[in-house]
C-alpha cells in the first residue's frame, strides 16, 4: 500500500460488498481482510474490487478450506 492511504482504504473496505471484517496489521501487508462470497466468480469480482482501490499496490489471497 502506498503510504498515506491507510485511512481511505479502511473507509473503502468498510463499504465494500463481501468484506465481513478487516484489520490493520504490521508486516509485509497493511490489512488482513476477510471476504465472504457465494461463488468463485463473486470472489474473483470482490478481489478485483480490492485491487482497484486507490493506494492498494498488491494483494495476497488465501482461501479457507475448513
Range of the domain at 30: 1-66
In total, how many domains does the chain have?
1
Each residue's pLDDT tens digit, 6-65:
999 999 999 998 999 999 999 999 999 999 999 999 999 999 999 999 999 999 999 998
CB distance 31 to 19 below 8 Å: no
- Report the CATH number at residue 7: 3.30.70.920
Each residue's pLDDT tens digit, 21-31:
999 999 999 99
β-pair partners for 32? 23
Amino acid at each position: 500500500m502506498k503510504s498515506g492511504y491507510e485511512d481511505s482504504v479502511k473507509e473503502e473496505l468498510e463499504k465494500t460488498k463481501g468484506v465481513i471484517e478487516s484489520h490493520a496489521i504490521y508486516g509485509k501487508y497493511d490489512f488482513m481482510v476477510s471476504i465472504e462470497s457465494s461463488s468463485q466468480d463473486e470472489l474473483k469480482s470482490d478481489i478485483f474490487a480490492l485491487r482497484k482501490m486507490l493506494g492498494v499496490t498488491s494483494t495476497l489471497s488465501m482461501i479457507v478450506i475448513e
